[in-house]
Amino acid sequence: MIELTTIPHINAVLNSITVALLWMARKYAKADNTEAHKKAMIGALSVSVLFMAFYLTYHFNSGLAKFGGEGFIRPIYFTILIIHVVGAVLATPLVPMAVYFAIRDNRPAHKKTVKWAWPIWFFVALSGVVVYVMALQLWPCTGPCLVSGLNVPGQ
């Protein structure tokens, strides 16, 4: 069984894989390599669904981690975090819409949706890794580190 405290580390890896797959998918689409694009996107979607399962499991069982950084880094971190969360909210309907249009082979609608969905999704995955590195690697909380749920030092 996976320890609850390892889930943020797993999610950082999953987000990194999503970033790579989204980048590859974009390159394939621009090269008009539809089959490779489709495979990369199915991979990105699959990894993102796995990420979401881990993410929800972690947050339903452990609460929200506190950021340990102080001084100038706090507003930088929280700005990134807020934009990350807003992006995640925006990506939630846009990505399924883009997938729907792709499955229906409605390329004009797919391209129009992807114009917004891809950069937002890419930013959310990339900023998720940045938030992880900042909150859990560079400036972890050293005291009681959860707002609610388990009280896990350093997590």
pLDDT at 153: 43
pLDDT at 1: 86
To which CATH superfamily is domain 4-138 assigned?
A: Cytochrome c oxidase, subunit III, four-helix bundle (1.20.120.80)
How far apart are the C-alpha atoms of 61 and 44, rounded to whole Å? 26
- What pTM did the predictor assign? 0.90
Is the CB of residue 22 less than 8 Å from the CB of residue 44?
yes
How far apart are the C-alpha atoms of 65 and 81, rounded to whole Å? 12
pLDDT at 146: 54
Closest by alpha carbon to 83, among 118, 111, 129, 123?
123
Domain segments of the chain as ranges:
4-138
Question: Residue 92: pLDDT above 80?
Answer: yes
Q: What is the pLDDT of residues 119-130, one digit of tens each?
A: 999 999 999 999
How far apart are the C-alpha atoms of 15 and 36, rounded to whole Å? 20
Is the CB of residue 121 less than 8 Å from the CB of residue 112?
no
